[in-house]
Amino acid sequence: MFKNNEDSYKSDKIETIIGPSVKVEGEFAGDGDIIVEGIVIGTLKTKNHLRIGSEAKVQAEISAASAFIAGDVSGNITIEADLDLKATAKIHGDIVCSQISIEKGATINGKISMGSPKKPAINNSVMEK
Amino acid sequence: MYLYIYDVFLNDKKYFNLLNKIENRLADLEIKGKICRLNLLKNMSEAIDDGIKQGVNTIVAVGNDSTFGKVVNAIADKDITLGIIPIDGNSKIAEILGVPAEEKACDVLAQRLIKKLDLGKINKQYFIDSVSIDDNNVSLNFEKYQISPVGKTMISICNLGFLSGNDSIYQKKLSVPTDGWLEAVVTPLKSGLFSKKNDRMPSVFPFKKILVESRGEPVTVTIDQQAIFKTPVEITVAPKKLKVIVGSERLF
């Protein structure tokens, strides 16, 4: 009932965790849920949920089915469904999504387009989950 | 038809009574088979090939983790079921598979609960549990992206992760040896008394193939706490590669 959001990485559904102890560079793509608490440079795509924690630093084009963002993101964000921006989120880039929730304190430097994104979140044949 | 392979060290007289007890128990359970005692002149691959020609479909390795590791590599590419009888209580692989030591293992064999396990493959050698990388000065290269550890970390490539030195990997089921994937797990080492909880969060990357390269001098890579390789190494998953008899106390 009082589950801490920061504990959610223990969930059975989580498949990829980019923790604070790694830096990922390149085209990262997956089918499962992704949690980011570290550094990502390049592109970041998933067919499922993406969670970017408050300490994360992402310089990447992002696409996902849904997303929760509490960290720094530099790059365009395309979300098929819901995008949830927390107070600590700092976005430098354009946002395309169906629905958005912005907490007081979040900063956005870019254009927000609402409605269904034209492209699906991901269509790739890479080996990662 | 069963073939029991006794490792070389069991030729020592001190194991005579124990092996007799095991053989009697196997006879009671009606799963007795051919026995092959390895020695300096008879190696494991020959014994297994001879057994297969004679119609053996289950090979039971009698020995320790070193024995089991060798048998896994010898039968991985063959249509054979593996059973194990651990001779001391120190076998980690037996713990993973839920097989008790010595005579009690015979009961697990008789129950014949078979699971198909993924194996990891590093260069040309198979492993059951995990690969440990001792040095941070490496990069893990996936097909389209690359991971570099930041700060002091422990790097493991896990099929199950029991031998990785990080208990949380198999306890939280971050890595499951029947899902067709391996996981690269990067765990930060404790940085200080006041480090944040998130600072200790492990990174987990499921994959089917990676290349581990060092960014300086070659780095030591240990598989299942036994064999040692040097970087660069290619690590792949071999899904459902090993048919093995397991006990109800298995860790997966």
What CATH number has the domain bearing residue B191? 2.60.200.40
Residue A1 has pLDDT above 50, yes or no: no
The pLDDT value recorded for residue B99 is 93
Q: Quick one: average pLDDT of B62-77? A: 89
- The percentage of chain B sitting over the pLDDT mark of 90, rounded to a whole number, equals 47
The pLDDT value recorded for residue A64 is 95
CA A21 from chain centre, in angstroms, equals 18
- Choose the most confident range, by mean pLDDT, from B21-30, B37-46, B219-228: B21-30
Indicate the residue among B112, B135, B158 that finishes a domain.
B112
Residues in A 53-82 with any Cβ partner in B closer than 8 A: 53, 55
Q: Quick one: average pLDDT of A60-88? A: 96
Alpha helices in B98-188 (DSSP H): 103-111, 168-171
* Structural domains of chain B, count: 2
Chain B residues whose CB is inside 8 A of the A6 CB are 197-198
B172 lies within 8 A of chain A by CB: yes
Q: Name the strand (E) or helix (H) holding B84.
A: strand B81-86
Q: Quick one: average pLDDT of B7-35? A: 92
Question: CATH number for the domain including B16?
Answer: 3.40.50.10330
The pLDDT value recorded for residue B70 is 86
Report d(CA A62, CA A56) in Å as an integer: 14
Residue in this structure with the two tokens 């200790």, named with its chain if needed: B200
Q: Quick one: average pLDDT of B222-241? A: 88
pLDDT in tens, B127-145: 988 899 878 889 999 989 9
B112 lies within 8 A of chain A by CB: no
Kindly report the average pLDDT of chain B as a whole number: 88
Residue A128 has pLDDT above 60, yes or no: no
- The percentage of chain B sitting over the pLDDT mark of 70, rounded to a whole number, equals 96
CB B5 within 8 A of CB B44: yes
Whether residues A53 and B198 touch (CB distance < 8 A) is answered with yes
Does B247 map to a domain? no
The pLDDT value recorded for residue A124 is 47
Residues B234 and B143 grouped into a single domain: yes
Indicate the residue among B89, B112, B135 that finishes a domain.
B112
Chain A interface, mutation test: which of B136, B173, B200, B204, most A Cβ atoms within 10 Å?
Answer: B204
Whether residues B150 and A23 touch (CB distance < 8 A) is answered with yes
Residues B136 and B235 grouped into a single domain: yes
The pLDDT value recorded for residue A5 is 42
The pLDDT value recorded for residue A127 is 45
User: How many Cα atoms within 13 Å fall on the side-chain side of residue A14?
Assistant: 21
Residue A10 has pLDDT above 60, yes or no: no
Kindly report the average pLDDT of chain A as a whole number: 84
Residues in B 220-249 with any Cβ partner in A closer than 8 A: none
Q: Which stretch of A11-20, B125-134, B155-164 has the lowest confidence by average pLDDT?
A: A11-20
Q: Which member of A10, A25, A127 has the closest CB to residue B209?
A: A127
The pLDDT value recorded for residue A116 is 64
Residues B173 and B228 grouped into a single domain: yes
Taking CA–CA distances from B151, the nearest residue in chain A reads A21
Q: How far is CA B73 from CA A20, B55, B228, B242, in A?
A: 36, 20, 15, 10
Whether residues B147 and A6 touch (CB distance < 8 A) is answered with no
Residues B135 and B107 grouped into a single domain: no
Does B250 map to a domain? no
Residue from A59, A45, A43, A52 nearest A17 by CA: A52
Residues B105 and B154 grouped into a single domain: no
The pLDDT value recorded for residue A109 is 96
Confidence of residue A44 (pLDDT cuts 50, 70, 90): very high
- Choose the most confident range, by mean pLDDT, from A44-58, B163-177, B226-240: A44-58
Residues B98 and B178 grouped into a single domain: no
Q: Quick one: average pLDDT of A54-78? A: 96
Does B218 map to a domain? yes
Q: Name the strand (E) or helix (H) holding A123.
A: none
Residues B92 and B190 grouped into a single domain: no
Residues B62 and B170 grouped into a single domain: no
The pLDDT value recorded for residue A14 is 56
Does B117 map to a domain? no
Chain B residues whose CB is inside 8 A of the A53 CB are 198
Q: Quick one: average pLDDT of B206-230? A: 88
Whether residues B142 and A127 touch (CB distance < 8 A) is answered with yes
Residues B72 and B139 grouped into a single domain: no
The pLDDT value recorded for residue B197 is 58
CB A34 within 8 A of CB A20: no
Residues B52 and B129 grouped into a single domain: no
Residues in A 91-120 with any Cβ partner in B closer than 8 A: none
The pLDDT value recorded for residue A9 is 39
Q: Model-level pTM? A: 0.82
Chain A residues whose CB is inside 8 A of the B145 CB are 24-28, 42
Whether residues A22 and B203 touch (CB distance < 8 A) is answered with yes
A/B interface, count of CB pairs below 8 Å = 91
Indicate the residue among B81, B112, B143 that finishes a domain.
B112
What are the domain boundaries of chain A?
10-114
Q: Which stretch of A117-126, B178-187, B200-209 has the lowest confidence by average pLDDT?
A: A117-126
Residue A47 has pLDDT above 70, yes or no: yes
To the nearest whole angstrom, how far is the Cα of B141 from the nearest Cα of chain A? 10
The pLDDT value recorded for residue A2 is 33
Chain B interface, mutation test: which of A6, A21, A43, A129, most B Cβ atoms within 10 Å?
Answer: A21
Respond yes or no on whether the N-terminal peptide bond of residue B232 is cis (omega within 30° of 0): yes
Taking CA–CA distances from A26, the nearest residue in chain B reads B145
Instruction: List the domain range (segments joined by +) for residue B75.
Output: 2-112
Whether residues B203 and A38 touch (CB distance < 8 A) is answered with yes
